[in-house]
Homo-oligomer: A and B are copies of this chain.
Amino acid sequence: MTSSLLASQPFVKHEKYSSIAPLVEVHRGGLVEAVHYGAIAVVGAQGSLVAHAGDPDLTAYLRSSAKPFQLLPLVESGGADRFGFDDKELAVMAASHSGEPRHVATVRGILDKISLDEDALQCGAHWPLSEESARTLREAGREPTPIYNNCSGKHAGMLAQCAARGLSTHDYLDPRHAIQIAILDTLAALCDVDSSAIGVGIDGCSAPCFAMPLRACALAFARLADPSGLPEPRRSAIRRVVRAMMAYPERVGGEGRLDTDLMRAAPGRLVCKGGAEGYHGIGVVKGGLGIAIKIVDGNGQRAGGPAAIEALRQMGILDGDEVESLRKYYRPAVRNHRGLEVGEVRPVFELVYG
């Protein structure tokens, strides 16, 4: 019989949609059980498209991949110096953290420095991504509070922006609040698009979230990796944020998280920030490249690792040993409830250059 999902007919053309490519397949037995489609853009710091898969102009929300940029206005405006934020604190402000004790403690420290308490966080609550942290809460008979939200560092950073500029904090998530306008303008400038061309929605944590073509987001990540062409104070602010994220990758995600282990596997060479619904942004220091990836079905949890690591492998950014060290993210086994290996997740795309 033919392999699952494989047949003689070509794809139907869907005129309404951008071109997408099969990025990652899920195999069970000898058959393909599922396919994750998407698109990838690789862009240089000057804005040239270096490589792509699918349509590099596919538009999608960055979600949490925007966090390093959402933090920049605080640093640029001198707020990080004023409150004496250290690199661990900056890293957690750019994080989608797992709610581990070190994350929660770091966010508490940020709030202490700006004389606010947890009640100021308007991110809502969810169970911490860290199973151990969730279990600890549960066993203590407690429910998670907003500080356990993976975005609590970002929100603490936004509140710090308010505090540094003497602005109101009760409405800090309003897209018309001065800090949100500063964030949108900063992101637009780094992407070389007009801020009016960026789509704005409401994120899982109630903050504004931003949509733009992959190519534009990849440029912003290229400039994170190589800000040398940018004016001050932006250049130094970017260097400080990126240094913090690279120095404390466990603050940006947590144990067993892709961003953390990608940055650990290539220390000082990559700055990585995933987002919900299959988004991923990566800055590559050597060569000043930016990569933006969107899995169109939104399942970054399953397809994000294989897609990101394969792109880095094909670009020669990760070598064979490094890829092998990331195998559980790159080609994870599919296991069933008895732990039997019944299949594998694997990347299947080839980047098109030039």
Main secondary structure of the interface of A (DSSP, over half): loop
Give residues 39-87 of A contacting B (CB, 8 Å): 54-55, 57-61
Complex CA distance for A291 and B297, rounded to whole angstroms: 23
Q: Are B10 and A202 in contact (CB under 8 A)?
A: no
Is A343's CB within 8 Å of the partner chain B? yes
Identify which of A19-27, A96-104, A229-237, A320-328 touches chain B: A19-27
Give residues 287-315 of A contacting B (CB, 8 Å): 296-299, 302
**Given A59-B1, A297-B37, do A202 and B124 touch, yes or no (CB 8 Å)?**
no
Residues 129-168 of chain A, each 1 if its beta carbon lies under 8 Å from chain B, else 0: 0000000001000000000010000000000000000000
Is A353's CB within 8 Å of the partner chain B? no
Is A342's CB within 8 Å of the partner chain B? yes
Residues in chain B near residue A340, CB distance under 8 A: 202, 206
| Nearest residue, chain B, Cβ from A59 | B4
Complex CA distance for A227 and B59, rounded to whole angstroms: 49
Q: Are B338 and A122 in contact (CB under 8 A)?
A: yes
Q: Are B206 and A7 in contact (CB under 8 A)?
A: no
Q: Are B124 and A342 in contact (CB under 8 A)?
A: no
Residues in chain B near residue A7, CB distance under 8 A: 17-19, 55, 57-59
Chain A, interface size: which category? 35 or more
Is A115's CB within 8 Å of the partner chain B? no
Chain A to chain B: the 4 pairs with minimum beta-carbon distance, closest first: A124-B337, A29-B201, A124-B338, A297-B297
Q: What are 27 contact pairs spanning A and B, CB under 8 A?
A: A2-B59, A4-B59, A5-B296, A6-B59, A7-B58, A7-B59, A10-B15, A12-B21, A14-B21, A16-B22, A28-B201, A29-B199, A29-B201, A29-B202, A33-B201, A33-B277, A34-B277, A34-B297, A123-B337, A124-B337, A202-B340, A202-B342, A204-B337, A206-B336, A206-B338, A298-B302, A299-B299
